[in-house]
Amino acid sequence: MIEIRWHGRGGQGAVTASELVAVAAIKEGKYALAFPEFGAERRGAPVRAYTRITTETTLIPRTPVLEPDIVVVLDSGLLGLPDVLKGIKKGGLLLVNTKAKPSELRSRLGCSSDVKVATVDATGIALETIRTPIVNTAILGALVRASNVVRLDNILEAVKERFPGRVGEVNVEAVKRAYEKVEVG
Amino acid sequence: MAQQLLKKKLALSSNYAVAYAVKALDVDVIAAYPITPQTHVVEKLSEFAANGEINAEMIHVESEHSALSAVIGASAAGARVFTATASQGLALMHEVLHIASGMRLPIVMSIATRALSAPISIWNDYSDVMNARDTGWVIYFTSSAQETHDTVIQAYRVAENPNVHLPVMVAYDGYIMSHTVEPVEVVEKEDALRYAPKKVTWPRLDPDNPVTMGTITSPDWYYEFKYQQVMAMREALKAAEEADRVFGEMFGRNYGVAEGFMLEDAEVALITMGAFANTAKVAAVEARKQGVKAGVLRLRLYRPFPKEKIVEMLSNVSAVGVVDKAISFGAPVEGPVFNEVAGAFYSSDHRPVLASFIAGIGQRTVLVDDFVSMFKKLQEYAKTGRGPGESIYVGVRA
């Protein structure tokens, strides 16, 4: 089972991102659950969401992910919060929306060498493509490249279904650009 | 082949899974008022209606009291009807709930369960449905989006069964299920209508054959009306079992009125409902690794209460814990389901040690380890032969 924990701020689309990964996984015939951690749903407030993906069992607990394989941070300003890096598994992946290089981020956070660090300027990509700083689709492209958790074509299909028409096209472009630009170190 | 079957699954929340079921059942009249966390049900149905994907009359009413009143009228006229609510909405409907069951109308309603005010909580527990348990409705608690979808379809077959003619609630956990996206194999309209054909089996208002419904009844008849409801509710157990069996034959999925997990050789067991089930099952596997022979009984049909089934399924278990997601203030033991389980065992020869756990109130998180601790407590009670005597409040800051 692969467990993903998403950290974002209200309005950035962390919950939607958590769902789109599940949608893509279900398209691949996997079993997946995606659910938000419910707090006050205010724009700008820190939000968490979770995705669990498995091919082995449908017996998945309906509880928050405490020991994630992957932590995705949609707003690097959240990295100061104590719970963001908490519980990440050995061999796990930390993916952050930032202009910083993975090596810079690793030394800044004092991240252990057991954890893979990936970075992408999802905000920049979102502003270029969607023209608003909603980074959830861009971060998905980076996630797929850095983790292979689902296939790119299935993410693109999930994005197109969720956002029909022109909105879908620019979001697809955001996914593709982040897929190209993500750096893993 | 397996891959092809899996490909047909949609990623849906339980809220959307309900809407897709209502769509497949070709419901005639939908009246509802939006309330968190149920709103997506009505939103999706409105979208279906706007796109011409369903043929239902959507009545956007001014309150839940009116929502149920409107579907009562429509059902009495012979329409297949649907409504949905939660929490304060179900509380506001309360007096009308009795009218729906007293008039013996086959209304189906979904509930995204949520705590009650005050203080205001938009989060999950079962206070809303527990308040409605004596209103004469058949009540299911489901534990996955797939099961929620399937149960709404089964609900119409039960409600419209001529031996039953009672309204049915399908309850699932607000947020924990209502907002969780998971794979659902959607039943097609043609198949749903083959399973639950549209046929007016209940007495209806008809200008050519006038009848009076819900009129004033003097002491020489009221009691008999209520006794008929008792009999109908007893029949509903058989109807629910039949509906589930036939559903399994047609669609390859069935659930039972209660589901056992690792009960065959269990020494201790937890009774849970709804979204707790999977977490409790994962905990049972973990508890067994730690030397506790644990099992889970998941209660799916809450009204009518399948007491004989439960006693039979737990006939070899020495200690039984009941996990309640609601509080019955001032009750002998505060877990509402606990009291009913205790009642069921009192009239049986098998008397396991019983324990009441209250958990998940206002959506307080309950982890796998919390369930493992409950299993361990049960093992202690089994050893000493004595239960705790009062409810244990899991995770509260006392």
Is B9 an interface residue toward A (CB < 8 Å)? yes
Query: B146 in contact with A at a CB cutoff of 8 Å?
Result: no
Residue B1 pLDDT grade (very low, low, confident, very high; cuts 50, 70, 90): very low
Cα–Cα distance for residue pair B134/A11, rounded to 1 Å: 42
Average pLDDT of the segment spanning B77-88: 98
In chain A, whose CA is at the least distance from the CA of B285? A59
Sheet holding B168-173, edge to edge: B57-60, B29-32, B81-85, B108-113, B168-173, B138-141, B301-303
Q: Is the Cβ pair A61, B11 closer than 8 Å?
A: no
Indicate yes or no: CB of A63 within 8 angstroms of CB of B279.
yes
CA distance A30 to B3: 10
A56 — pLDDT class (breaks 50, 70, 90): confident
B385: region left, alpha or beta (phi > 0 left; psi from -120 to 50 alpha) = left
The share of chain A scoring above pLDDT 70, in percent, equals 97
A39-43, B83-87, B377-381: least confident range: A39-43
Which of B70, B72, B81 has its CA nearest to residue B29? B81
Indicate if the pLDDT at residue A11 is higher than 90.
Answer: no
A59–chain B Cβ distance below 8 A for any pair: yes
Split at pLDDT 50, 70, 90, the class of A41 is low
Using left for φ > 0, alpha for ψ between -120 and 50, and beta otherwise, residue B395 falls in left
Q: Which domains does chain B have, with CATH numbers?
A: 2-251 (3.40.50.970), 258-393 (3.40.50.920)
Confidence at residue A40, expressed as pLDDT on a 0 to 100 scale: 54
Rg (CA), chain B: 21
DSSP B147: H
A120 touches chain B (CB under 8 A): no
Mean pLDDT for the stretch of residues B94-118: 98
Flag if B278 and A34 touch (Cβ within 8 Å): no
Give the pLDDT mean for B151-170: 98
- B4 exposed, middle or buried (CB, 10 Å; 0-12, 13-18, 19+)? exposed
Number of domains in chain A: 1
From chain A, pick out residues whose CB is under 8 angstroms from the CB of B283.
Answer: 61
B7: closest CA of chain A, how far (Å)? 6
Where residue B79 falls (left for φ over 0; alpha for ψ -120 to 50; beta otherwise) is beta
Whole-number pLDDT of residue A82: 83
CATH number at residue A158: 3.40.920.10
Q: What is the pLDDT of residues B39-49, one digit of tens each?
A: 999 999 999 99
Is residue B17 predicted with pLDDT exceeding 70? yes
Least CA distance to B278: which residue of chain A? A61
Nearest by CB: B7 against A22, A29, A62? A29
Query: pLDDT tier at B80 (50, 70, 90 boundaries)?
Result: very high
- Give the residue on A whose Cα is nearest the Cα of B280: A61
Contact assignment for B367 to A63 by CB distance below 8 Å: yes
| CA–CA min distance B172, chain A (Å) | 13
Distance CA B143, CA B177 (A): 8
For B242, list phi and psi in degrees, rounded to 5.
-65, -45
Backbone angles phi, psi at B177, to 5 degrees: -120, -40
> Is the pLDDT reported for residue A39 higher than 70?
no
pTM, two decimals, is 0.96
CB contact under 8 A, B368 and A61: yes
Please compute the mean of the pLDDT values over residues A2-25 and round it to a whole number.
95
Residue B102 has pLDDT above 80, yes or no: yes
Mean model confidence pLDDT for chain B = 96
Eight-class DSSP state of B175: T
In the predicted structure, residue B30 carries a pLDDT above the cut 90: yes
Average pLDDT for residues B262-272, to the nearest whole number? 98
- Burial track B356-379 (b if 16+ CB lie within 10 A, e otherwise): bbbbbbebbebbbebbbbbbbbbb
Question: In angstroms, what separates the C-alpha of A62 from chain B's closest C-alpha?
Answer: 6
The CA distances from residue B358 to A103, B171, B325, B329, B366, in Å, are 48, 19, 6, 12, 11
Q: Which residues of B touch A29 (CB under 8 A)?
A: 2-3, 6-7
B6 confidence band (pLDDT: 50, 70, 90): very low
Q: Is the pLDDT of residue B7 over 70?
A: no
In whole angstroms, what separates CA A51 from the centre of its chain? Answer: 9
Q: Check CB contact under 8 Å for B7 and A27.
A: yes
Which one of A26, A56, A67 makes the best mutation probe of the B interface by having the most chain B beta carbons within 10 Å?
Answer: A26
| Domain interval for residue A121 | 2-184
3-state secondary structure at position A87:
coil
What pLDDT, on the 0 to 100 scale, is given for residue B93? 98
- What is the tens place of the pLDDT at every residue in B232-254? 999 999 999 999 999 999 999 99
Question: Does the structure show a pLDDT above 60 at B56?
Answer: yes
- The strands making up A116-120's β-sheet, listed across from edge to edge, are A31-37, A46-54, A2-9, A70-73, A93-97, A116-120, A183-184
Q: What pLDDT, on a 0 to 100 scale, did the predictor assign at position A150?
A: 97
Answer yes or no: is pLDDT of B170 > 60: yes
Q: What is the pLDDT of residue A112?
A: 86
Distance between CA A13 and CA B203 in Å, rounded?
50
